[in-house]
Amino acid sequence: MIYLQLFWTFFKIGLFTIGGGMAMIPLIQNAVVIDHGWITQELFIDFIGIAESTPGPMAINIGTFIGYELGGILGVLITTLGLFLPSFIIIFTIYKLSSNFMKKPAIKDMFLGLQPTVVALITSALVMVSIAACTFTSSSGVVSFNWFGVVLAIACFLVMQFAKKVHPIIIIIASAGIGILFYGFIL
């Protein structure tokens, strides 16, 4: 049954994300963390970090990870098949029909509604991610505010805005190092 659920979940993710990459995060979060509770919010964020610093499309990376955690190699095949099928069917159909399909006015109009919505969905995912990233949960379940998490996030963002040539992987590796240094030895 888990295989059927995995397939259906990732098929829907593949079918309903437009814009790829970060636009997939709200859908994956909604399905995997909130609806099914397959992984925790913290592990999900950790995995966004890993997916960003390993090669390949992010959705495939996250799909593979969750498939492997829940169903081993067969789970991986099923989640990637789920992500792959909608893309493949839609693109192949468009290829067969006409490449001018996307220029139809109705399709253009659709994006008037979709563009701001994609931004809104990622923003709501950011709210959830920020809550998990800027709090500590102790083993007894007490939640406390992590001020250093906020400071580090702002610092990373400023680097991305003002030093655009710095690759995200370098920022991720540096923040891992700073994390060990600060949380391990200073705090």
**Within 87-146, which residues bind another protein (CB under 8 A)?**
87-88, 90-92, 94-95, 99, 101-102, 105-130, 132-134, 146
Among 2, 5, 19, 71, binds another protein (CB under 8 A): 19
Q: How many CB atoms lie within 10 A of CB 47?
A: 19
Nearer to another protein, 4 or 153 (CB): 153
Q: Which two tokens stand for residue 156?
A: 């990373």
Nearer to another protein, 110 or 143 (CB): 110
Give the total of residues touching another protein (CB under 8 A).
110
Nearer to another protein, 1 or 42 (CB): 42
Among 143, 145, 157, 166, binds another protein (CB under 8 A): 157
Determine which helix (DSSP H) or strand (DSSP E) holds 28, and give its type and residue range: helix 24-28
Maximum CA extent, the chain: 61
Nearer to another protein, 107 or 143 (CB): 107
Q: What's the 3-state SS for 99-137?
A: CCHHHCHHHHHHHHHHHHHHHHHHHHHHHHHHHHHCEEE
